[in-house]
Structure 1
Amino acid sequence: MATEYTTIKAILFKSKTLSNGEHPIMLRVTKNRVRKYISLGISCHSKDWNEKDNLPKKSHPHKSIIDKIISKKVAEYNDALMNLKSEDKDFTPDVLINKASKPISKITVFNFFEQKIQQLKDAKQIGNSKVYNDTRNKLKKFLDNKDITFSQIDYNFLLKFETSLKADGLSDTGISVRMRTLRALFNAAIEENYAKRDNYPFHKFKITERYNTKTQKRAITKEELKKIEALVFKQGSSEFEAQQYFLFSYYGQGINFVDVAHLKWVNLIDGRIYYKRAKTGTELNFKLPAPALKIIEFWRISNNPPKDDYIFSILNKQTHITPTQQHNRIHKVLTRVNQDLKEIGKMAEIGIPLTSYVARHTFATVLKKSGVSTAIISESMGHQTEAITQTYLKSFENSIIDEAMENLL
């Protein structure tokens, strides 16, 4: 395949002569011999045009003005060309012209924040909408409620915003979340033509290099899980429910707490659970092993429960109707569950603080120790990439290295 070339230059369009005897000055976009012409709204007589430089001759009375108009337009089209190439998108001259000539729409940063927050709420992504809302509030505090445009967000602006977040006592993880949210908003603004890609400040302000956000992903052993399973609590108590949720997550392919809360009887078909991950929208299903079936049976109120009833008693379809009500309820119950799990961990003499997420990490680690490939573990957990799964398995990999090092002694 031949290399594709794109050229952008101003030319005197002699095929057309105006009533004053001059010819239009056009911008010519050429890609693989396909040419398109864009009028610049200016003209020049052939005797005043330098064919070699594609500019008016020095003797032209308005040379400096025409030079600036041409230079500005060529720069705009070259910027659009670079953006298309950076996105690795195939394009025609018409696509390039459309991208370069499309004017930037006007919207303030806070108004765009409002739009995105509402979009997330409409999509029932309540947790994400709250992250955007919190980032907006932090930015409003930093700016003393003065609105700005995206063109005002540059590298120095981000440095000052970072300093204000540190002054508020935010950790590296907390600052990273706000900066990544602002970056996502800026990217969305570029896509919706509210911001220019050449003003993008996050190429220089590299979030991943500025903050230490690594948290240790912890798992327990299968033996420790059996100790948790052996503990006996009064049925219906908060400790009993915390224990059951933890075990169901482990036996239920590492299903996380939010998805456990949303499970309904309609999701249970022939001993399998079919559900869509709230976080990613990935559709998953898994066969329920005997311990997980036993846990579900405790919550079964009849032989044929209504299909739209929740399996577990985290949500109530009569009370928790809106996405916000459901989000708040799940957050409240999860806080209590994690508190109970920490006490359960102490009872079982487990050396790390027990949380609902430990069950998910344990599921992944036990499979890895059993020889299951990372790719299969990633698919079973609904991860979008294997790199995410690797973070779950990091502590396992470290332990293998530690055991190998013993051979040196």
Structure 2
Amino acid sequence: METYLVGGAVRDALLGYPVYERDWVVVGSTPQEMLDAGFRQVGRDFPVFLHPDTGEEYALARTERKQGHGHQGFTVHCAPHVTLEQDLLRRDLTVNALAQAADGTIIDPYGGQRDLAEKRLRHVSDAFVEDPLRVLRTARFAARYAHLGFAVAGETLALMSELTAQGELAHLSSERVWRELERALGEQNPDVFISVLKECGALAALLPEVDALFGVPQTPAYHPEIDTGLHTLMCLQQAVLLEAPTAVRFAVLLHDLGKALTPADELPRHIAHEQRGIKPVKRVCERLKAPNQFRSLALAVCEYHLHCHRALELRGTTLLKLFSGTGALRQAENFEDFLLACEADARGRSGLEQRTYPQADYLRGALAAATQVTAAPFTAQGLQGKAIGQAMEKERIRVLEQYRADYSAADTGRPRQ
């Protein structure tokens, strides 16, 4: 029995990247021998075991043969005679087909170290096309390492296009697609993930609502970059710079879906695109089975991001509508995510990346004023039921109008946007 550290742990160590988990391949063993050694089996489709002390995964060396569609359409063969090189051959990219022996020796039968040096994401073999999930994984690795100068090899991108053209992506489960998307949005360059999928045709297959944004013009006065798809990518870049969590980045990705539905005779203006975007945002979330937290934030940002941009102009009634619609009155902490997404949108424009966003502080102050209005004084007056809610709403509008007036009176040159 021989064990080798494999995959991402080897790759990232060679890159000087943080290593968060380690996976191992065992050559020359059987399931029974692993069990006898105290390992606990967890793999259903092929033998994977957890180390009795570290809990790290140890998989028996295996080969695979395509027998169906999707990323699970494989038969797996494990046996003591399967070599390390055969096991590495089934992997997606050469930079992931690396192993390290106990003495530190790097085993690299497919040129992974050379591709690391040349900053290239390249497939190990033509068997790459047997698993459609590799399209998303490769795009995700491109998003992770783009800041280091990595790019997908042309021949690998061609295979990704082939997989897409064959309709294989349709066989991926929504759970796997969501998992890859969520992980990619958390990388340093999530915009690269979208760009790579766009280039190989996978974006149209998986996120047609986002794909439809490319080529849609916007008013140059507000959007010097003009193209709505490019604007979306720039907003993602800004969300990263703002250290926004993944849910915010997802909302940013979907915030302008309504612009793809603008009638041609109205372009480049996008009147009521916020309302038009609600249905496609819901459709994406349902198709991907996005968690409720992601869904609710994406819908709020889609519907109310222009309210946020125009905050300094809004009357008390509209401010209250904004707070009610985004759930800010119930969970003020979630409103911060909304503000982050809107700021990323405001900055995701050519030449305006460094603009200030006073709307955020203005709305924080307005929300604080509105939440100071409670039911207690109205209950003390003897009001009950709906009458309390109506009185609170009226008082909140009054308070917000006063806040607005006080802000204007104190304004000594605050920037307007």
Q: TM-score, normalised by structure 2?
A: 0.29
Q: TM-score, normalised by structure 1?
A: 0.29
Asked which structure has the greater CA Rg, the reply is 1
